[in-house]
């Protein structure tokens, strides 16, 4: 039996894609499926997004792009990260598109030149003379989730710098940009986290019409009664003040349930229960209100358990949590086509 099960609702992926397309008002949706589709499965998610109207897939590395090419055939794939000389040759052979941020445009491969408008990570300070290999110009938002003034400034910087290149595909918006800034739509938007139904703003995804696509389930592997003064877990961080039932869930930080999630809530038999004590490498404890049988279902994500709430407890973002969930021989991942 798997210690936990990961279920990805591809129907939710398609509905989220359509929500983003409506927000974009005619601009193309390019689905970002790097990091194995934010932990959801890049090939399956990519196929679902394309089926719902996305026109390209975006990845971080050439190797990720090659995986999509082998699995999905002749789809448009854009590699967002830097590539070595060997990887450029591989991209050329596989008809992948590359992002160039250093001004050196390789021959024989479709290229998007990246302009830095305020992110100060990858990108040129000004656009060079563009060769025939260049099919797009792009930039990236630094704070579309939290700083409207700076985001609008980036939009205007990008618009001004690319006016002479309106015959090329222009793209700057991410998920937050697509949902909040109509002026940022241009020709296409590269959307990741919203496609998976998580909020780029750390809020309830339903506020933007998004549906979480991932559900992560486990079960109680042990149930025990702590007497007053007894503790559970490393460091004795939880000490019972009264007779207290606790359940042990066979999932821990090695599986992606982070050590900082002590204090968050999961659902046990459909009811919210608090995670107590130290999260171990392969187990954590929940406080119960009564004795429950071993095998009682525990929902770690989905069905009312939101990545955004976990992220607030752990002092991080939902992106980091969902990309950190690991599937494997003892953590099965399955896909639901419609729900």
Q: How far is CA 161 from the centre of its chain?
A: 30
Give the number of other Cβ atoms within 10 Å of residue 312's Cβ. Answer: 14
Give the number of other Cβ atoms within 10 Å of residue 132's Cβ. Answer: 8
Phi, psi values for residue 193, rounded to 5°: -60, -40
Q: Is there a catalytic annotation at residue 38?
A: no
Supply the Cα-derived Rg of the chain in whole angstroms. 22
Rounded-to-integer distance, Cα 1 and Cα 24, Å: 43
Per the residue annotation, which of 114, 234, 253, 319 is the catalytic one?
A: 234
Rounded-to-integer distance, Cα 236 and Cα 275, Å: 14
Per the residue annotation, which of 34, 38, 253, 319 is the catalytic one?
A: 34
At residue 267, the 3 state secondary structure works out as strand
Q: What is the DSSP string of 82-107?
A: ---HHHHHHHHHHT-EEEE-SS-PPT
Residue burial 207-245, b: 16+ Cβ < 10 Å; e: rest = ebbbbbbbbbbbbbbebeebeeeebbbeeeebebeeebb
Closest CA to 268 of 256, 280, 284: 284
Q: Is there a catalytic annotation at residue 34?
A: yes
Token digits of residue 227: 């007497």
Residues designated as active site = 34, 234
């Amino acid at each position: 039996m798997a210690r936990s099960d990961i279920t990805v609702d591809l129907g939710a992926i398609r509905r989220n894609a359509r929500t983003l397309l409506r927000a974009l008002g005619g601009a193309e949706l390019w689905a970002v499926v790097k990091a194995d589709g934010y932990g959801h499965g890049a090939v399956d998610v990519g196929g679902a997004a394309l089926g719902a109207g996305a026109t390209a897939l975006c990845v971080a590395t050439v190797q990720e792009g090659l995986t999509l090419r082998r699995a999905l055939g002749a789809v448009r794939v854009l590699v967002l990260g830097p590539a070595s000389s060997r990887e450029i040759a591989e991209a050329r052979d596989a008809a992948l598109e590359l992002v160039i941020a250093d001004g050196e445009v390789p021959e024989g491969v479709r290229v998007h030149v990246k302009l830095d408008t305020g992110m100060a990570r990858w990108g040129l300070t000004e656009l060079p003379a563009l060769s025939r290999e260049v099919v797009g110009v792009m930039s990236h938002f630094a704070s579309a989730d939290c700083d409207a003034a700076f985001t609008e400034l980036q939009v205007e910087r990008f618009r001004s710098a690319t006016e002479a290149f309106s015959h090329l595909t222009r793209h700057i918006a991410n998920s937050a940009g697509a949902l909040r800034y109509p002026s940022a739509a241009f020709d296409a938007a590269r959307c990741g986290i919203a496609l998976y139904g998580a909020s780029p703003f750390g809020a309830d995804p339903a506020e933007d019409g998004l549906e979480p696509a991932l559900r992560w389930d486990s079960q109680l592997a042990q149930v025990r009664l702590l007497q007053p003064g007894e503790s559970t877990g490393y460091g004795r961080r939880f000490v019972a003040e009264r007779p207290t039932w606790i359940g042990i869930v066979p999932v821990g930080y090695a599986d992606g349930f982070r050590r900082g999630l002590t204090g968050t809530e999961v659902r046990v038999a459909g009811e919210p229960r608090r995670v107590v004590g130290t999260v171990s490498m392969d187990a954590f404890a929940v406080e119960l209100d009564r004795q429950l049988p071993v095998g009682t279902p525990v929902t770690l994500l989905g069905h009312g358990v939101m990545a955004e709430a976990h992220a607030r407890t752990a002092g991080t973002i939902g992106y980091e949590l969902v990309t950190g969930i690991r599937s494997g021989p003892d953590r099965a991942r399955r896909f639901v086509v419609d729900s």
